[in-house]
Structure 1
């Protein structure tokens, strides 16, 4: 009645005030409407209208959605063979039995070639401006680099106490000691964001005569737990191969996935001869996909595509192509998609045939 009208939809009603402005409409928009101009809502105003059960003009909302969006690019992986790898889950500090205030460093690693382990307590990273390669030094003169050589082998174990005992037997290196954190300032033992000074740097370096030997570097900081004991935490890892440096990034979901889609040529057929249950040009229809390794969209193909920058590996090739053209957010975390990374692993048979 009078100046107030209502529109009934179900159990809800949207009321209009005498000025003709929508209930819950942003103040700035009301003045423009009263003046007779078409209301232009910002995304924040549209959200306010939605939350207040308002009903903005549907034709206007369609115009808002017609903004051209950039289609994420699809990238293919380039395989880099890493001969040494530190298993970060095995990295730990262990209090010694004779001196509980001192700690030994332990970790496991794999090496497909003979290598050496170098441990820098309070290390400094130096990056070459031209090549981007890193070299390492000690921050203090009263510390020394722990060095120990290992043959090739998987699941090998490094123990600082063992390295000390070998140095006592006459190895040509300076005397090394257990980690005694009481001799250092807290600021030296905890990493400061953006600095090239790291509390701990562990380098696995392949032995050989190459001027730029392949290596993997693990950068760590120290932390105190609830029991006032020191622990070690990995910050990042880098790999140097043929004079190039790569920083390793975690891919979420790769452990349970197949990550082995056959690489296709321009004609659509799989490269090389298919073997086992895979027929020529047959794709992946007969692959037995383990539980948890399937694409989260179609649930019938193995996932082999990672969303960037969030690094969720959750899509198969076909669903990734559809996502690239029709959507802009990750199906796991809803982060904006900037690129898609397809991971293809060469089969053992194909690798052997190239030898």
Structure 2
């Protein structure tokens, strides 16, 4: 039988000495604060993206701002405008104890002014005097012209001693206003075309609703609460636009300070933020900004809508389209409020 095979040749041990010791274990790395060894990372996979500032990964991205609607304003021609800052009451020299209503107004057509005390608004912007037995409405006709002065006829004014303070000094929403002035044109009725609906047969008008104020038993004052337009059978409510005066006045070059967009600082302002009514941006910046934020650049209030208002200077009046006739000097920007949608306001 063949013998056993010889042992394989040992290339490492040339002598008969003992075998060398095994190599030392590999050194463990020192982990900095916020780091974990691989074994721990495998056991806790939620820490893989941890960067030292957050416990369970980076914060989620902020949601995109809600979409903001961008609209273009429709120009409404206002034939008669009562300048609300001029509305006041004056003592009646011929009837001591009574006070007369006075104000300044502009009119591009002829019409009539009617002063109501304790008036309630009815359908189609008609006013009804709720205390007609004490104070009857007073109507005075006028001709066209700018800067006209109105003063209620003597003897027809109000005697405040006949009424309670609660009736004179009202706050908040109300159905009956202590004072109302209705400026009505005589133009629209005679210019009706055949086939027009009955609602268009109501003359165009402007209504100014106000309350009385008295501080520390001093003289009485008037504070305007609301102005309403009734044009071609549609009800509109006038609202102030903050900053539009800077866009209307000044040179046509747009070089006056305060007229430029607050975003690009170069283009003229033509876009109003609603509901805060700050006219502070150009239309191009407004289109970009509405996808980035829903806050007004001026007051930081939430934005519901953007209203683009093109203000035409003298050199641009010929560019008006028939659908947007140039307004008279006293025309103010309007926000349409349909009579049928009042319950949703």
Same fold (TM over 0.5): yes
Distance 1:135 1:61 in 2: 62
2:66 pairs with 66, 70, 79, which one? 70
Is the counterpart of residue 191 in structure 1 residue 170 in structure 2? yes
- Residue 257 (structure 1) shift: 1.1
Residue 244 of structure 2 aligns with which residue?
Answer: 254
* Corresponding position of 2:160: 181
For the pair 1:137 / 2:128, whether they are aligned, the reply is yes
Query: Cα deviation per residue 1:50-101 (whole Å; 9 max; x = unaligned)?
Result: xxxxx973986741x4424321011001111010000011111123446563
Q: Determine helix, strand or coil for the equivalent of 1:335.
A: coil
Total equivalences in the alignment: 260
Residue 80 of structure 2 contacts residue 184 of structure 2 at CA under 8 Å; is this kept in 1? yes
In the alignment, structure 1 residue 348 sits paired with structure 2 residue 327: no
Say whether the 8 Å CA contact 1:306–1:315 is kept in structure 2.
Answer: yes
1:258–1:304: 8 Å Cα contact kept in structure 2? no
Max Rg structure: 2
Change (3 A) 1:145 1:57: same
The alpha-carbon distance between structure 1 residues 108 and 351, as it changes in their structure 2 partners (threshold 3 A), is same
**In 2: Cα distance, 1:306 partner to 1:147 partner:** 37
Instruction: Flag the 1:341–1:353 CA change in 2: closer, same or farther, 3 A.
Output: closer
What residue is the counterpart of 1:224 in the other structure? 214
Query: What does residue 143 of structure 2 align with?
Result: 151
Corresponding residue number in structure 1 for 2:109: 113
* Structure-2 separation of matches of 1:106 and 1:61: 66
Q: Is the 8 A contact 2:135 2:158 kept in 1?
A: no
Uncovered stretches (5+) of structure 1, i.e. residues with no partner:
1-6, 8-35, 39-54, 165-175, 261-285
Q: 1:205 aligns with which of 184, 194, 198?
A: 184
Distance 1:351 1:319, change over 3 A: closer
Q: 1:206 to 1:95 in 2, by over 3 A?
A: same
CA distance 1:184–1:72, change in 2 (3 Å): same
Which residue of structure 1 aligns with residue 81 of structure 2? 85
Unaligned runs of 5+ in 2: 1-32, 34-43, 47-51, 190-200, 326-345
- 2:166 counterpart SS class: helix
Judging changes above 3 Å, is the alpha-carbon distance between structure 1 residues 247 and 296 closer, same or farther for their aligned structure 2 residues? same
RMSD: 2.8
Cα distance in 2, alignment partners of residues 288 and 69 from structure 1: 32
Q: Which residue of 1 aligns with 2:302?
A: 336
Higher relative contact order (CA 8 A, sep 6+): 2
Residue in structure 2 matched with residue 241 of structure 1 by the alignment? 231
Which of 267, 281, 298 in structure 2 is aligned with 1:301?
Answer: 267
